[in-house]
A and B are shown apart, each in its own frame.
Chain A
Amino acid sequence: MGRLYSLNTCTLVGAQAVPVTVEVDVGQGLPGFFIVGMPDTAVQEARYRVRCALRSCGYRIPEAHMVVNLAPGLLRKTGTGFDLPIAVALLCATGQMDPAWVFQALFVGELALDGAVRTVHGLLACAMLARERGLQLVSAPAAELDRDLGVPCHALESVVRLRQGEPWSTHPSCAVARASACADFSDIVDMDIPKRAAQIAAAGRLGILLKGPPGSGKTMLARRIPGILPPLEEDEMVQTALIHSVAGNDVSNIFAGVPPFRSPHHSASLAGLIGGGSPLRPGEVSLAHNGILFLDEMNEFSPHVLQALRQPMEDKEVILVRADGRVRFSADFMLVAAANPCPCGYLGDKQHDCSCTDQQIARYASRIGGPLMDRIDLVVEVRRSSPDSVMETGNGLSSSEMQQEVLMARERASGRRRKSVARGRVTANAGAALVQSCGLDGKVKRIFSELARNNHLSGRGIMSSLRVARAIADLDDVDSVGEKQILEAMLYRVREVGL
């Protein structure tokens, strides 16, 4: 007796796994099972789960004074992932298991009362930590680990297997991930202009607002935008999957390269949107990282909540500050919003009459984007197609064709950035960089200035229009922004309040 046993595990802090050492001491004294090291309630309950699980599998629990220490002591321990490491440490300390390979492994898992091992959130993060420390991961079988992560991930189905020679199997690293079918743009008839606007937004990663009456198809359009975004790159996949894994979401689509599409309801709380809770969980803005955040019925969101979205959009991350430290969650997303044109929703609808007064309409128009209006670069009207044309389908570009064009546009944009870096022409000022990248010649500059003046564009509006024009130019495969691109960009501009 009196054996001290320690092995590796981890706990989640934000979207990262932080290493924790489990030490078990079985010694003399009044019989009891104690867990120390700032465990939260779920961790404390491990005592019961571990005891029952081991007993059900026929292991012996000694009548001794057992102390489990989760080090470092000041780090708050949360979650049910400690069940498995505690059980394994206990078995090693009581000589019921061969401790030979325990040293090279990181154990994470919850135990069922019959000894089965259950998955916990954030296994991907645990795998990343294991890789960092040159360890192997042992956990319940989990679909998200079924791929080549650069670290051996072992699946343990039940603690009863720990008696055997080869207690666990290895997760297959078959990297073939199949994405569930994303809705296709070719399903939508007509709507050529909104489709084009969506494509421009995708090419330039710009903010877009879809305006139209209820049932006009705004949500339908929005849901198809992930299908024309470039597929996630390797590192983006991992970054994004980590966040989703921590939130307990299925990551198979992410590993198939499909950017996430998050559509929070307008009654969502601030914590739900930005992140929070205890333990700290990522919010919708982080779950939309490398994907799209869709604010449907933007006007119904409280201005307070919309205001809170500005900082993550600016910094491309969310920093949550708590008493015991700060946690960073990435939040780099593309904004897509949908709104009605007026309070009753039917302004400009062919079938329904609008019942709003002029004052109501003007007031609504000024509130539509609220604090987020300056994040919107394109506004496009969406109207339902006429009944007869709805029956026709399949004309117009498909999502994969549109995606190809977006990919090529993005390639040109990165090529251009590389070239300017190579030539040493890099300006810290984002505005100046944008103007430079447009390469406007004298004539186009003059035309643009006049258009800007006549349309009373603010400074921000000018930058926005240039961004749109630059994205159009990339789609059109031209080096510099010309008159054609400027004119088209003006069509989608954010118009003055009430117009």
Chain B
Amino acid sequence: MTAGVFDANLPHFALRRGDTGYPPLLESIGKPPDTLYGIGNADVLSMPALAVVGARRATPYGLDCARVFASHAAIDGLVVVSGGALGCDQAAAEAALDAGGRTVAVLGGGADVVYPMGAAPLLQRIVKQGGTIVSEREWGSAPLRPYFVERNRIIAGLCAATLIVEAGLPSGTFSTADAALDTGRDLLVVPGNIHSPQSRGSNRLLFQGAQPVIDLSSFDEVVEQIYGILVLQSEEYDPLGPLPVDPMGRASDRAKLLEALAACPLHLDDLARKTGLPRDKFTVLVSECEAFGLLERGRDGRYHVRLH
């Protein structure tokens, strides 16, 4: 048995079909799990929940969308369910927790097996903040590939709606989308830049009829409709916040730069070409914006607008 990271003091439970605590929504899916093993608070599984999932190799845009909508869902009182995977899933869980909400992570291996590596702090936080980690696999099961597709049906099955924040083509998230549709749940998708390979999957789902979520007010509307809760009007989200002081008087050039990056992250050469600024001005401007925290350089060498 692989070492779990959770101390035995945290409440462990095992819900079988037919038990009182077994989530009712899960009963209505095609193949409900016989047993749901979990660590933490089992009640959370039966509360109104929204699944927030997305690509593992997410772009800054995808991560930001995951954060924004997950935290909003938490503020609206919904439980946020995801798979605990790298990228969008983890970003959603962190954001929901930061907003004071409760989350559920459905794992591919046993509920006590930490996967992926490095997820232990997040999983512990989920449990500590009133949520739960569940799995249909036995305690100590290794996280094998086929289990991940299977667990996606549980993620969708626990929720009245699933929100996909970013997905490429092909994507593991499609199995979650299919599971949602098969059980008659709502499928919500955030559109992406049509040039971005990482949004091709999400955009295709929209083309096939999924419900678009295009900003906070549309999100609120959809949440009201599906969950029947009244949502207070929230201020429209401004990813940049107020721009810092402009000591070198370059506000318009700076705006040009940030606008050029609005669609997708770019390499320096492409960015230079797009803004049309002369090279010597351009290099100083980019460096300045990076210094002010407006831009960030990703691991692949592309620059993107730094979103909060």
Chain A residues engaging chain B, CB cutoff 8 angstroms: 190-194, 196, 211, 341, 347-348, 353-354, 358, 361, 365, 381, 383, 385, 450-451, 454, 476, 484, 487-488, 490-491, 495, 498-499
Contact = CB atoms under 8 A, between A and B. Distances in A.
Interface in B270-297: 270, 272-273, 279-280, 283-284, 286-288, 290-291, 297
Nearest to A489: B287
A198 B254 CA distance: 26
20 contacts: A191-B269, A192-B269, A192-B279, A193-B272, A194-B269, A196-B283, A211-B301, A347-B301, A361-B299, A381-B267, A381-B268, A383-B269, A383-B270, A488-B284, A490-B290, A490-B291, A491-B283, A491-B287, A491-B290, A499-B299
B204 interface: no
B287 A190 contact: no
B19 interface: no
B115 to A, nearest CB: 13
A279 to B, nearest CB: 46
Contact of A347 (B284, B291, B300): B300
Contact of A341 (B269, B284, B301): B301
A410 B226 CA distance: 70
Given A192-B269, A193-B272, A381-B268, A341 B287 contact: no
B12 interface: no
Given A193-B272, A487-B287, A499-B297, 19 more contacts: A190-B273, A192-B279, A348-B301, A348-B302, A358-B86, A365-B299, A381-B267, A383-B270, A450-B291, A451-B291, A476-B280, A487-B284, A488-B287, A490-B287, A490-B290, A491-B283, A491-B286, A491-B287, A495-B297
Contacts of B197: 353
Contacts of B280: 476, 488
Given A190-B269, A487-B287, A498 B279 contact: no
Most B Cβ at <10 Å: residue of A190, A194, A488: A488
Interface string B130-165: 000000000000000000000000000000000000
Contacts of A353: 197
A383 B283 contact: no
Given A193-B272, A194-B269, A354 B300 contact: yes
Contacts, number: 64
A381 B269 CA distance: 9
B287 A193 contact: no
A348 B291 contact: no
Contacts of A495: 297
A273 B123 CA distance: 51
Contact of B279 (A193, A211, A348): A193
Q: How large is the interface on B (under 10, 10 to 19, 20 to 34, 35 or more residues)?
A: 20 to 34
Given A192-B269, A194-B269, A381 B301 contact: yes
Contacts of B290: 490-491
Contacts of B272: 192-193
Kindly list the 7 A-B residue pairs having the minimum CB-CB distance in the complex, ordered from nearest: A348-B300, A381-B301, A487-B287, A347-B300, A488-B283, A491-B287, A193-B268
B267 A383 contact: yes
Nearest to A194: B269
A191 B299 CA distance: 20
Interface in B22-40: none
Contacts of B268: 193, 381, 491
A490 B289 CA distance: 12
B269 to A, nearest CB: 5
Contacts of A488: 280, 283-284, 287
Instruction: Give the most central of B197, B287, B298: most A CB within 10 Å.
Output: B287
Contacts of B287: 487-488, 490-491
Nearest to A485: B284
Contacts of B284: 484, 487-488
A109 to B, nearest CB: 55
A202 to B, nearest CB: 16
A467 B272 CA distance: 25
A361 B287 CA distance: 25
Nearest to A383: B267
Contacts of A484: 284
A193 B86 contact: no
B122 to A, nearest CB: 16
B96 to A, nearest CB: 23
Interface in B210-249: none
Given A193-B279, A348-B267, A487 B291 contact: yes
Interface centre among A191, A358, A450 (most CB of B within 10 A): A358
B279 A196 contact: yes
A347 B299 contact: yes
A1 B270 CA distance: 85
Nearest to A490: B287
B254 to A, nearest CB: 13
Contacts of A476: 280
Contacts of B302: 348
A191 B290 CA distance: 21
Contacts of B283: 193, 196, 487-488, 491
A25 B302 CA distance: 77
A193 B291 contact: no
Interface in B87-143: none
Nearest to B301: A381
Most buried by A among B269, B272, B284, B297: B269
Interface string B250-272: 00000000000000000111101
Contacts of B288: 487
